[in-house]
Amino acid sequence: MTRPWTNPVLPGFHPDPSICEVDGTYYLACSSFEHLPGIPLFTSTDLATWEPIGHVVTRPEQLDLHDVPTAGGAWAPTIRFHDGVFHVVVTDAMGRGNLLFTTTDPAGKWSDGTPLTGVDGIDPDLAWDADGTCYLTYSGLRLTASDGPRHLGIQQVRIDLQTGTALEEPRSLWSGTGGIFPEAPHLYEIDRTWYLLVAEGGTERGHAISIARAPHPTGPFEGCPANPLVTARGTDRPVQNTGHGDLFRTPSGQWAVVCLGVRPRGMVRSWSAMGRETFMTSARFGDDGWLRIDPVELDVPGPAVTLDDDFDEPALALPWLTVRRPAEEFASLTERPGWLLLTADGATMDDQRPVFVGRRQQHEVIDVGAVVDASRGTGGLSLRIDEDNHIDVETDGAVVRARGVIARLTQTWQAPAPEGPVTLRLWTTRPPGEFSLLAVTSDLVHLGFDGPDGLVELAAVDGRTLSAEGAGSFTGRTFGAFASAGTVAVDRITYVGQDGPR
């Protein structure tokens, strides 16, 4: 099969992808955890070019994120289309629980979210049989059990989508081949046989995709003798942690799977700076009726990508995000036209709800610049994975300060600031190629600013803790502007990203 896509399909922090096709257009949704807007949506007609069209969650009341723990929030959406309506079911982990969102226009406004009652688990999936009965299949990981989190395998109920109420007690379907955390179930009817695709082995290096089949959506399910169908564990493949797959047909009618994976870095390939990304791979059914899935390949890096936002529009572009609260609480694009104004409220980058507007890091080597006017406050640029692990360069108009916060341990460096708005700089470089302790890290993060005589570098910080493995995070890096005191104005942010050697 000649595959039309380029891997990664969605680079940067875009985990847990789910896909559906409607009248020749594909719609893809991803997890967003504690970030707003939530559950990003992308479309494509050829699987080669993907365009962002919006988000399912655009209003704070749709998810309960205000105090959600780090790595809580929107987990593992499933997107499906049935009877003229788009459906997204998702777990708002440690928030509102399992929810159903609907719309007839995925680029428009989605519903407020119907809570699903009688469903105690994560990673919900929807499937309809020929009679219109809807089956909700999910991972029976009980996060709120009184005796601590426990797992009951893959479970299922018939559900009334109008009320969100389960119509029966949960039944157990299948629990994979014995790998930990059977999750991400997706149920399909193909040629009068029901197939259950699941992830297992945990979302780290043991991640895998397995499949079972049954004559009826309720079972009994038998596992494929060739399970797991996809895994990179124990291999030197450049894409690791491959799992959490969703099966679909390509425009040519062939089968394919969208899934997550990571691109680990360093001499021992231990650190995934961008977290879990979206990939695709080819699939096919054999004469025995069992699915085969090809290993996930990584494509040759393309040319450098340049992004430049001068904040001349009245609203933030779709890729910009915030943490646990909407940008409207602290950001303005109209008060000073052509500038992004950030008004501090006592929070810093060490807090759960920073005054921060960011985007996903999408390339292995990046160079970010921001023109910052700090004449009325303190703020600058941050490279962030969570409140415990971030690397910042800021100014208060008098000094430029670099700060590395690693597992809440902080070190700073500073120099006098040039007059007027200052261009703050944050860039990464690969670790040295020769063997050394430093060679095992993901990258080095450099912090500095443009002075009257050229670039001034203040510090270079080991970037490994700003990785999925180092921070123990389900997310990935984001970069952007922040304010920690007063009001800070940002004229523009530029980003140059490149995969492969710098």
386-443, pLDDT tens digit by residue? 999 999 999 999 999 999 999 999 999 999 999 999 999 999 999 887 777 778 899 9
Sequence-distant (≥ 6) Cβ neighbours of residue 185 within 8 angstroms: 123, 125, 137, 138, 139, 154, 173, 196, 197, 198
pLDDT of res. 434: 73
pLDDT of res. 149: 67
Ordered strands of the 18-22 beta sheet: 18-22, 25-29, 38-44, 51-57
Confidence tier at 452 by pLDDT (50, 70, 90): very high
CB contact at 8 A, 42 and 79: no
pLDDT of res. 147: 66
Residue 184: Cβ-neighbour burial (10 angstroms; 0-12, 13-18, 19+): buried
Active site residue 183: yes
Residue with tokens 């270079």: 460
- 3 state SS of 329: helix
pLDDT of res. 191: 95
- 3 state SS of 61: helix
Read off the tokens for 61: 């009341």
The dihedral region occupied by 253, where left means phi > 0, alpha psi between -120 and 50, and beta the remainder, is left
Residue with tokens 């390939």: 269
The Cα 478–Cα 458 span in angstroms is 21
Q: What are the pLDDT digits (tens) for 7-50?
A: 999 999 999 999 999 999 999 999 999 999 999 999 999 999 99
Q: Does 267 have pLDDT greater than 90?
A: no
Q: With CA atoms as reference, report the closest residue to 380 among 497, 234, 480.
A: 480
The Cα 279–Cα 291 span in angstroms is 18
Percent of the chain with pLDDT over 90: 93
Confidence tier at 500 by pLDDT (50, 70, 90): confident
Residue with tokens 């996809």: 230
Sequence-distant (≥ 6) Cβ neighbours of residue 108 within 8 angstroms: 54
Mean pLDDT of all residues in 219-245: 97
The Cα 437–Cα 443 span in angstroms is 12
- Note if the bond before 77 is cis, omega within 30 degrees: no
Domains of the chain: 18-226 (2.115.10.20), 305-498 (2.60.120.200)
Read off the tokens for 263: 């691109």
pLDDT of res. 439: 83
Element (H, E) at 291: strand 291-293
Q: With CA atoms as reference, report the closest residue to 386 among 272, 475, 288, 266.
A: 475
Q: With CA atoms as reference, report the closest residue to 28 among 38, 39, 37, 36.
A: 39
Confidence tier at 502 by pLDDT (50, 70, 90): very low
Mean pLDDT of all residues in 197-211: 96
Angle at 263 (CA atoms; ends 368, 73), nearest 5 degrees: 75
Q: Does 215 have pLDDT greater than 90?
A: yes
pLDDT of res. 131: 96
Angle at 329 (CA atoms; ends 325, 333), nearest 5 degrees: 120
Active site residue 297: no
Annotated catalytic residue: which of 16, 92, 204, 462?
Answer: 16
Upper half-sphere CA count for residue 493 (Cβ side, 13 Å): 23
Q: Does 285 have pLDDT greater than 80?
A: yes
Q: Work out the mean pLDDT of the chain and round it to a whole number.
A: 95
Q: Lowest mean pLDDT: which of 18-27, 66-75, 478-487, 492-501?
A: 492-501
For residue 460, the cross-strand partners are: 446
Sequence-distant (≥ 6) Cβ neighbours of residue 62 within 8 angstroms: 38, 56, 99, 101, 110, 112, 113
Long-range contacts of 461-465 (CB under 8 A, 24+ apart): 461/391, 461/402, 461/404, 461/406, 462/406, 462/438, 463/271, 463/273, 463/391, 463/428, 464/266, 464/270, 464/271, 464/440, 465/385, 465/389, 465/406, 465/407
pLDDT of res. 342: 98
CB contact at 8 A, 41 and 58: no
Annotated catalytic residue: which of 183, 387, 394, 499?
Answer: 183
Q: Does 268 have pLDDT greater than 80?
A: yes
Q: Does 1 have pLDDT greater than 90?
A: no
What is the three-state SS of 253-275? Answer: CCEEEEEEEECCECCCCCECCCC
pLDDT of res. 282: 98
Q: Does 99 have pLDDT greater than 50?
A: yes
Q: Cα 341 to chain center, whole Å?
A: 26
pLDDT of res. 401: 98
- Note if the bond before 106 is cis, omega within 30 degrees: no
Predicted structure pTM score = 0.96
Q: What are the pLDDT digits (tens) for 135-178?
A: 999 999 887 666 666 789 999 999 999 999 999 999 999 999 99
